Amino acid sequence: MAVQADAAVSPAQSIPGNVFLVGLMGAGKSSVGRLLAKRLDKAFVDCDHELERRTGVSIPVIFDIEGEDGFRARETALIEELTARDGIVLATGGGAVLDARNRALLAGRGRVVYLRAAVDELWRRTRHDKHRPLLQTPDPRARLAELLTTRDPLYQEVAHVVVDTGSQGLPALADRIVERLQEHARMDACKP
């Protein structure tokens, strides 16, 4: 009697639990997150959009009324709630990693993917977006460079996987993320 080979394991089966996307604004967290969630058969949640939905106002309005500190407090409370769910792909805000509690929640409750992009690519993607409060400065490109310098070590610290976004299309990027997550899951399975 012949023994049948195991059927191929789907991405959804090989990557259980949550996937959290971190990276600077314009890195592609929301865009690729939606596609990634479909491929992994998980629910997609965009932290900033969820915050806007719950408050009934845009992120820039929250910044105007409560300042960055007020926004960050709301963001941390939401991250605590959202990371407690199971089976989601979560696109975090670019500054979510600034709070050590957020980094601990993200790293402890799922697999964290740092979507890394060069400043020029980030600038190209965000330069016409007027809904980015931190870029409403005389030199937004320089501000992006400053943010990347400050945040990159924090993204690196929390990430289980780092994926350079570059100029590839979303399907190719989603495929690369799935591959890297599967590699990470295999390495985790081999640990004693």
| Average pLDDT of adjacent 10-residue blocks, the chain of 192 residues | 49 83 92 95 96 93 91 95 96 95 96 94 76 72 90 96 88 93 82 68
Q: What is the pLDDT of residue 2?
A: 42
How far CA 135 is from CA of 39, 77, 103, in Å, comes to 32, 24, 23
Q: What is the pLDDT of residue 133?
A: 65
Q: How many CB atoms lie within 10 A of CB 127?
A: 13
Q: Of 182, 167, 160, nearest to 40 (Cα)?
A: 182
pLDDT at 184: 86
Nearest to 125 by CA among 140, 147, 137: 140
Strand partners, 162: 114
Q: For each of the domains in the chain, give its residue range(s) and CATH number, in order of start.
A: 14-186 (3.40.50.300)
Q: What is the model's pLDDT at position 167? A: 77
Cβ atoms of 134 and 147 within 8 Å: the answer is yes
pLDDT of the residue at 173: 92
Helix (H, G, I), strand (E, B) or coil at 86: coil
